[in-house]
Structure 1
């Protein structure tokens, strides 16, 4: 520690841009067998009372989910803490004598809270207004974003496209494009059923075997389901192995989302005593369409707390797309507009974007890149902004909650550091604020990129957090 302190002091006095790796962090790197050059960091008291300690500060590095800090900070400023997505039921003209002559239109407005109860309540509002018959079918309007379906034709991120972290959202984010499946180990195999049960959907788990894995690791031997059309529905055949003596409710992206929407609406509407004619499709609501019922999601500041604490990829992508939808020029793709908004915001706050590569704003990407200095600049700008308390409140607390609930529990940073985590197979990161031994918050950014980062890198970052927490 004395060697490191003397070396750091000498480097700072000389104005050197690179700081030596602290002894406990170097020890963690050596134990993990990771090279020092895999680590980049920027560490500095938020009040600027000491020069920044930094290493590879300007390197373009994979951020993993620390990228969510960029999206969250820009969104709070550009969309506002009270921004709310919404879902609407519309018709081309007002109902007459309880009858909608044409189709019912379900228009998505990037509502993060459109779950099954919310959809039921929308239809209930319509039914209680006196509507009993819809003579057209259902039109699903996803045109808030362009193109309307980013997921179509896009190669899967990894070998588990059915899991919730891989959902690529569109403007109608009904139940996160997921359907729950209740999986239950039985004496002779596995049983499964969808929740809610939808007419036309069958599930066969007879090919699944029982494993000796702990129940918490139920997805270790999961294999993608076989999906076959069956009349107007789907037949799903689940595969892989499931732990014995285990029961799980798994939200999965297996069923086509357009089918899911149309059949859920029809089934709920029928259960409410309504009738609906044939002809379901996707398209835009006509000009002058009449709004018949509305559901509003929670304000952005509330949504972001859950997004950041649990590192929700799909909702981060939804928020990133809303940045573009709000600013898009005629004919401009939404993702291109989102990138323009983020880059303009960063430049407006004096943050160098030379290392920045944007994809979807969530960090679930093989191409996204930031530098430690860029993330540090975002953190400083966020804390100077009007929404600093809201942003700080979204970050996981060391050893307490979110993605840090099981990390840094026993060290000096426990209960004090607030940090966004990030993990990909070849990248781990932590970025946020760490109070030192005198209670001064430090801007903390540490990224580690290496083929073994996910397996070996977290203890290195945790050692750096604890080192900052002991500084005076």
Structure 2
């Protein structure tokens, strides 16, 4: 790869040098960049055109359905901004079957998830604090967690893992509660005395055992290279022992948020611990079930408006929250008994139809791009971007996109060329697919619709310089 770098740079300069020429010259320069990367011509598809349509589109494989990786998040974001609205908020509630009497809930406390993207540990504490300060001190019926906004309530159950690292945050499959992202922080430390591990916060009934981990010679920044999924063993009183596996660098200290325990177990333990710390009592017995009709809301927490949430989702390419938003599209429109994911797909295809866009070849899975199945053509993605820019929510979508060389997933890319600080693009990376899609101003300040998808077994290793060179070519156009 290091040997190819000068050739890639030369190809990028060739693209920039073609800035005042015609489309075929640009195509030849793109072909040179592909050749320098050792990638075949057919691996790349793109659509490039001024947003005002003042020049004919430059296109290759425009109509071919391709793996989009995280550029698929543009579909979810664009449709959600219009169908859910910029002020849409998720909501978490504490309920009881009937109003408390004398500080006592004579039945279970119900924690109902409403796709709240901001329900972290402090938000859960504040919910319980509200309940405690209202005078409630005793819960006589245990805890019920209601995840039924989505159908099925636990979409994650029974699904095979996307890859070999299901415990990392990008792999979380959300549900309607999505408490702390279903993640628990652990801290690992390697000292001359050995390896230690603890959870943050510490939870009663949870023990971490790092005794089987070896010491690695890797740099601390590469600590996760030798990580292996933990083994879970039951302990007394419903507790768990997590036996950590793999190796960890010598002299390193690292904190990571991981999906290590079942989310129902984690949520119930946290509720009970925080409630006890607030001076409340709760009877035994935890369950997952729907709140009864007529249940009384005792406290609530609201997430940020969708437009604010999307800024973080798009810039950091947050898979779990993208999936949560995609599921909200379905939850809002689902018919009785309809699976939420099926309803989400129906909403997206209806949006395409309403905007006169062809959805043939479009394959939807979870709305995040973290999928081996999802497909969209460069032409469809370009048409979606045009429709989004023509809508009332266009400023919100544009503000959510990473800026070349400045922030988000583009903070270390496109830093020195003509696109730096000007292009706004959603990135996408899987092992065999990379992409860039969004808007690139040319040298005269005219915004271009930009979509480039590259599918190849070595796309992640070799493909990004090709896409970046194409961005800089557009940015240099006059």
1:397 to 377, 390, 403: 403
What are the equivalent positions in structure 2 for 1:371-382 lying under 5 Å apart? 371-382=377-388
Deviation at 1:210, TM superposition (A): 2.1
Gaps of 5+ in 1: 10-18
Seen in structure 2, the aligned counterparts of structure 1 residues 5 and 318 have a Cα distance that, compared at 3 Å, is closer
The residue number in structure 1 matching 2:11 is none
2:339 to 313, 328, 333: 333
CA distance in 2, matches of 1:223, 1:233: 22
The residue number in structure 2 matching 1:204 is 209
Is the Cα–Cα contact under 8 Å of residues 172 and 259 in structure 2 kept in the other structure? yes
2:314 to 308, 312, 333: 308
Deviation at 1:5, TM superposition (A): 8.3
CA distance in 1, matches of 2:73, 2:385: 12
Determine helix, strand or coil for the equivalent of 1:136.
Answer: coil
Determine helix, strand or coil for the equivalent of 2:269.
Answer: helix
Does residue 176 of the first structure (1) align with residue 184 of the second (2)? no
The residue number in structure 2 matching 1:26 is 31
Determine helix, strand or coil for the equivalent of 1:57.
Answer: coil
Deviations 1:119-163 (A, max 9, x none): 000000000000000000100000000000011000000000000
What are the equivalent positions in structure 2 for 1:50-61 lying under 5 Å apart? 50-61=55-66
2:229 to 224, 229, 248: 224
What are the equivalent positions in structure 2 for 1:131-280 lying under 5 Å apart? 131-231=136-236, 232-280=238-286
CA distance in 1, matches of 2:25, 2:206: 60
TM-score of the pair, normalised by structure 2:
0.95
Deviation at 1:8, TM superposition (A): 4.6
CA distance in 2, matches of 1:297, 1:219: 31
Determine helix, strand or coil for the equivalent of 1:218.
Answer: helix
Deviation at 1:7, TM superposition (A): 9.1
Deviation at 1:209, TM superposition (A): 1.9
CA distance in 1, matches of 2:42, 2:26: 10
Deviation at 1:211, TM superposition (A): 1.9
Is the Cα–Cα contact under 8 Å of residues 100 and 106 in structure 2 kept in the other structure? yes
CA distance in 1, matches of 2:103, 2:20: 81
The residue number in structure 2 matching 1:13 is none
Deviation at 1:23, TM superposition (A): 3.9
Is the Cα–Cα contact under 8 Å of residues 269 and 275 in structure 1 kept in the other structure? yes
Deviation at 1:4, TM superposition (A): 7.0
Does residue 130 of the first structure (1) align with residue 135 of the second (2)? yes
The residue number in structure 1 matching 2:70 is 65
Is the Cα–Cα contact under 8 Å of residues 110 and 318 in structure 1 kept in the other structure? yes
1:321 to 319, 327, 352: 327
Determine helix, strand or coil for the equivalent of 1:160.
Answer: coil
Deviation at 1:324, TM superposition (A): 0.3
Two-structure CA RMSD over aligned residues (Å): 1.5
Does residue 409 of the first structure (1) align with residue 415 of the second (2)? yes
Does residue 383 of the first structure (1) align with residue 389 of the second (2)? yes
Determine helix, strand or coil for the equivalent of 1:22.
Answer: helix
Does residue 345 of the first structure (1) align with residue 351 of the second (2)? yes
State the aligned residue count. Answer: 463
Seen in structure 2, the aligned counterparts of structure 1 residues 207 and 21 have a Cα distance that, compared at 3 Å, is farther
CA distance in 2, matches of 1:201, 1:6: 64
2:435 to 429, 433, 451: 429
Deviations 1:230-264 (A, max 9, x none): 12111001111122222221000011100001111
Deviation at 1:398, TM superposition (A): 0.6
CA distance in 1, matches of 2:210, 2:274: 26
CA distance in 2, matches of 1:168, 1:86: 19
Deviations 1:296-349 (A, max 9, x none): 000000000000000000000000000000001111110010000000101111
Does residue 288 of the first structure (1) align with residue 294 of the second (2)? yes
1:47 to 36, 47, 52: 52
The residue number in structure 1 matching 2:5 is none
The residue number in structure 1 matching 2:8 is none
Deviations 1:46-77 (A, max 9, x none): 11111111100000000000000000000000
Deviations 1:143-202 (A, max 9, x none): 000000011000000000000000000000000000000111212432111011000000
Determine helix, strand or coil for the equivalent of 1:109.
Answer: coil
Deviations 1:90-135 (A, max 9, x none): 0000000000000000000000000000000000000000000000
Is the Cα–Cα contact under 8 Å of residues 19 and 477 in structure 2 kept in the other structure? no
Gaps of 5+ in 2: 1-13
1:439 to 445, 469, 472: 445
Determine helix, strand or coil for the equivalent of 1:251.
Answer: strand
CA distance in 1, matches of 2:469, 2:65: 23
Determine helix, strand or coil for the equivalent of 1:210.
Answer: strand
The residue number in structure 1 matching 2:374 is 368
Determine helix, strand or coil for the equivalent of 1:105.
Answer: strand
Determine helix, strand or coil for the equivalent of 1:392.
Answer: helix
